Amino acid sequence: ASDFGIDKALKQLNLSPVNDGTSTGSNTFGNGELLTSISPVDGHEIAKVSTTTESDYQKVMSSAEIAFKEWRLVPAPQRGEIVRQFGEKLRELKEPLGKLVSYEMGKSYQEGLGEVQEMIDICDFAVGLSRQLHGLTMHSERPGHRMYEQYHPLGIVGIISAFNFPVAVWAWNTALAWVCGDVCVWKPSEKTPLCGVACQNIIAEVLKENDLPEGISCLINGDYKVGEMMTSDKRIPLVSATGSIRMGKIVAQAVAARLGKSLLELGGNNAIIVTPDADIKMTVIGAVFGAVGTAGQRCTSTRRLIVHETIYDKVKDAIVDAYNQIRIGNPLDENNHVGPLIDELAVASYNKALKAAEAEGGKVLVEGGVLTGENYESGCYVKPAIIEAENSFEIVQEETFAPILYILKYSGNVENAIALQNGVVQGLSSAIMTNNLREAERFLSASGSDCGIANVNIGTSGAEIGGAFGGEKETGGGRESGSDAWKIYMRRQTNTINYTSELPLAQGIKFDL
C-alpha cells in the first residue's frame, strides 16, 4: 500500500507500529492486550493498538473528572477557540487522515476526505455555537421577579462509535461537547482503532499547546466490555452510541438503569420513493451512490427503492445499467467507485442476506458475489447486488451493512409508497424523487415519512452537518450534529430571582406566618 502514500500518512499522523490505545490528552498508559488493525483494502496489518484494562479505565476517569472541574469554568467562546484550533489542524491533516480512514475502513479516498471535511465543518459550526448557547427568559407571574434558564456543562460524555464513520461521528459529538464545557471519553470501534489514536494525537497536541488539563479528550479501546465500563458508570451522565439496534438496546438499558441519558444513532433501512414523474437521471445518481457508496456501510445507505409501476421498468433498466459501470477495487485508487467491506464477518452477512432474499422469492437483477484473485486478496470485496423483492420479506426488514439494494414496486397513489417506506422498524433516512408538489408535501407532512431525515430530490445519504442528524423508532431517537442537538450535552437550569422585599408564592398560594 506504500504506493498510495500510506506510510507517509501514518508518519504525519504520529502513528507507530504499536500504539497506546488508552490516553488522556497526550499521556498514554494502556496495559491491555494488543488489537491488530488489518486493512480490508489489502489484508495487511497496519499497526497494533493496546486495549484498556479496568485499572487503566479508572485512571482515565480520574483525569476526566479533574479536567472537567477546570474546563467547565473556561468561558464558552474560549472553549470555541480550542475547537477552532482543532479544526485548523484537521485542515492541515485532511489528506493523511482521509487516507488512513480509507485504508483502515475501506471507503473510497474521496469519501475518506469527505469524512474529514465533516469534522472540519462541525468544528466551524461549534465555534459559532460557542457564543450561542442560549437559554430563554420568561416573564414571572409574580411582581419583582425575574425568570430565565441557562445551560451549564453536563460533565463527562462517553462516546461509542462504529467502524463505518471512524472519525466524523466522534467529532460531531466532541466538537459540540467541548464547546458545551464537557470532557469526552471515546471508545472507537475495535475494527478501526488507528483512526481513534490518530484523532486523539491531533487533539492532544492542541490541548498541550494551550496548556489545558489532561482529560478533556480521552481515548479507551477494546471490545464491548470496555463499553460496558462506561454504560454502567454513574460518573458519565451522557453516553452517545452509534451502532446496531442490538447494541443500542443493551446500551440504552444499562444507561437507563442508572437514569443516565443516552444519545442513540442506530440502524437505518432507508428508502427512496420514485414517483411517476421523477427525474430518472437524478434518481439513478442518488440511488446508486446511496446504495453502493461506502460499500453500503452507511447507516444512511439506500437499502430500498420503492418505484411506481408505471415507470418501474424504465428505472430498473437505468439502475441496472449504472451498476454495470461500477468499478470495484482498491478504494485509494480514485478510478474505483466501491471498496471492500470491513471484514470477513461482513462478507458472511452479505452472503447470508443474498441467500435469504432468494429463498424468500426475491429475483436477482444484478448478481452479487465475492471477488477473488489479484487485488482482491483481502477477501472483502463484493459485487453490489440488486434484488427485486417485497417489503414483507424478513431480510428486507433488516439492515444488512452491505451493497444490496432491494427494488419494490408500488401502484396507485403516493400514500401506498409512504406506507411501504414506513413499514420497517427503523426510521433514519428517507427520500422521494418527484416533480409533483402535492406528492412531495404529502411525503413531508405529518402523515408522511416517519424518519428523522426526509429528503426531496436527493438521496438518503450524505447529510450535511448543519441539520440535526438521527432517526426515530428503533434508530434510537438521538440527534447529533447541527440545529439544537447541542442541548443534550448540557444541563438546563431554570432560575427565578426575587428582587423585592416580599415573598409571594406562585399560584397565588397564601401562607401567612
In terms of CB distance, is 162 or 212 closer to ligand UN1? Answer: 162
The cell for 26 is 497526550
- Cβ atoms within 10 A of the Cβ of 17, count? 9
Positions that interact with ligand UN1 (CB under 6 A): 118, 164-165, 169, 242, 298-300, 461-463
Q: In sequence order, which residues have a C-beta less than 8 Å from that of residue 442 and are 6 or more positions away?
A: 414, 415, 418, 448
The pairing of beta strand 302-308 with beta strand 404-410: parallel
In terms of CB distance, is 23 or 461 closer to ligand UN1? Answer: 461
In terms of CB distance, is 22 or 461 closer to ligand UN1? Answer: 461
Comparing every residue's Cβ against ligand UN1, the nearest one is: 463
CB of 426 to ligand UN1, least distance (A): 12
318: left (phi over 0), alpha (psi -120 to 50) or beta: alpha
DSSP-derived secondary structure letter, 9: H
In terms of CB distance, is 60 or 184 closer to ligand UN1? Answer: 184
DSSP-derived secondary structure letter, 2: G
In terms of CB distance, is 79 or 298 closer to ligand UN1? Answer: 298
CB of 360 to ligand UN1, least distance (A): 26
| Cα Rg of the chain (Å, integer) | 24
CB of 78 to ligand UN1, least distance (A): 29
Report d(CA 204, CA 364) in Å as an integer. Answer: 50
Catalytic residue (one of 265, 399, 474, 480): 265
The cell for 402 is 452491505
In terms of CB distance, is 19 or 164 closer to ligand UN1? Answer: 164
CB of 114 to ligand UN1, least distance (A): 8
Measured CA angle at 155 (ends 195, 30), to 5 deg: 40
Report d(CA 487, CA 309) in Å as an integer. Answer: 44
CB of 488 to ligand UN1, least distance (A): 17
The cell for 113 is 476526505
What dihedral angle (degrees, nearest 10) is formed by the CA atoms of 95, 101, 106, 109? -20
First to last CA, the chain: 83
Q: Check if the beta carbon of residue 46 is closer than 8 Å to that of residue 13.
A: no
CB of 249 to ligand UN1, least distance (A): 18
Report d(CA 470, CA 217) in Å as an integer. Answer: 24
In terms of CB distance, is 118 or 474 closer to ligand UN1? Answer: 118
| 41: Cα separation from own chain's centroid | 22
Report d(CA 1, CA 33) in Å as an integer. Answer: 26
Q: Check if the beta carbon of residue 492 is closer than 8 Å to that of residue 180.
A: no
Exposure of 388 in the CB half-sphere (CA atoms within 13 A): 14
Q: Check if the beta carbon of residue 436 is closer than 8 Å to that of residue 275.
A: yes
In terms of CB distance, is 35 or 299 closer to ligand UN1? Answer: 299
| Amino acid (1-letter code) at residue 151 | Y
Query: Is 367 a known active-site residue?
Result: no
DSSP-derived secondary structure letter, 451: S
CB of 242 to ligand UN1, least distance (A): 6
The cell for 170 is 466522534
Report d(CA 414, CA 254) in Å as an integer. Answer: 41
In terms of CB distance, is 119 or 206 closer to ligand UN1? Answer: 119
CB of 111 to ligand UN1, least distance (A): 9
Sign of CA dihedral 457, 463, 465, 470: positive
* Catalytic center residues: 265
